Amino acid sequence: MRDEQRGEGKGQSAKSIGQKASAASLLFALRPLLFALSRSYNFSLTPMRKKILTRDELLIERRALRDAGTKLVFTNGVFDILHVGHVRYLRLAQTLGDALVVAVNSDSSVRELKGDPRPLMNENDRAEILAALEFVDYVTIFDDISPRSLIAELLPDVLVKGGDYALAQIHGREEVEAAGGHVVSLPFVEGASTSRIIELMKSGQ
């Protein structure tokens, strides 16, 4: 009887050790998930990043939008320091159609356009910030100085630029209008500009 009890005790002890080992293994396996849960804000980045498309992905999405009869609005820019002028401009642009795509200049094209030390924020950060805006549906990064070739491929229903551009100066206007689309120049907010913000920062004001 005692031998049997000793056997049962050893069995229970081994079982207990096995359970503890399994629990430890499970806990170790769950460490990445537990860490992510402790940083729950990371999950909110997923919907934003889904908005950021490569050129090819955007062209595929464009075909689907066209088939669905969705009116696509396109605009582009550097968006180095997002300010109230950008936000109001993009919000107004979105009201001109059903979906808004924002094309962001790549870091190399910004350096060519603006010179050093621009951009202040890298292309991925700029794209993610724009994607966080609820009225922006898609963001893509383009590497050319001009967005003309992208616009010619995408052929949005509405092409929008800021008010400092005359209609004749807007790249892609001819292609969009030839396809039956519209080109719109929207006003900027007076005094709101990235260059002005940078100058104020330099002067310490």
pTM: 0.72
Same-domain check for residues 108 and 183: yes
**pLDDT tens string 144-169:** 999 999 999 999 999 998 866 778 88
pLDDT of residue 188: 72
Same-domain check for residues 51 and 24: no
Same-domain check for residues 128 and 53: yes
Same-domain check for residues 53 and 29: no
pLDDT of residue 39: 38
Same-domain check for residues 82 and 16: no
Mean local confidence (pLDDT), 72-98: 92
Note whether 183 and 173 are within 8 A (CB): yes
pLDDT > 80? residue 48: no
Same-domain check for residues 13 and 77: no
Domain count, the chain: 2
> Among candidates 128, 143, 156, which has minimal Cα distance to 42?
128
Q: Mean pLDDT across the chain, nearest whole number?
A: 80
Same-domain check for residues 142 and 59: yes
pLDDT of residue 34: 44
Distances (CA, A) of 17 to 2, 51, 201: 22, 48, 62
- How far is Cα 76 from Cα 129, in angstroms, rounded to an integer? 14
Same-domain check for residues 59 and 24: no
pLDDT > 80? residue 101: yes
pLDDT of residue 187: 80
- How far is Cα 141 from Cα 147, in angstroms, rounded to an integer? 10
- The domain in which residue 16 lies consists of 2-38
Same-domain check for residues 33 and 68: no
82: exposed, middle or buried (Cβ count in 10 Å: 0-12, 13-18, 19+): middle
Q: Is the dihedral of CA 51, 54, 58, 61 positive or negative?
A: negative
pLDDT of residue 43: 46
Phi, psi dihedral angles at 135 (to 5 degrees): -90, 0
pLDDT of residue 41: 38
Same-domain check for residues 31 and 52: no
Same-domain check for residues 8 and 106: no
pLDDT of residue 31: 54
For 4-18, 68-82, 141-155, which range has the lowest pLDDT when averaged over its residues?
Answer: 4-18
pLDDT of residue 167: 80
For the chain, what's the residue count?
A: 205
Q: Return the percentage of the chain with pLDDT > 70, whole number.
A: 68
- With residue 140 as reference, give the H or E element that holds it: strand 138-142
Same-domain check for residues 75 and 24: no
**pLDDT tens string 11-30:** 555 555 455 546 556 555 55
CATH number, residue 95: 3.40.50.620
Helices in 39-188 by DSSP H: which ranges? 45-51, 55-67, 84-94, 107-114, 123-131, 148-154, 173-178
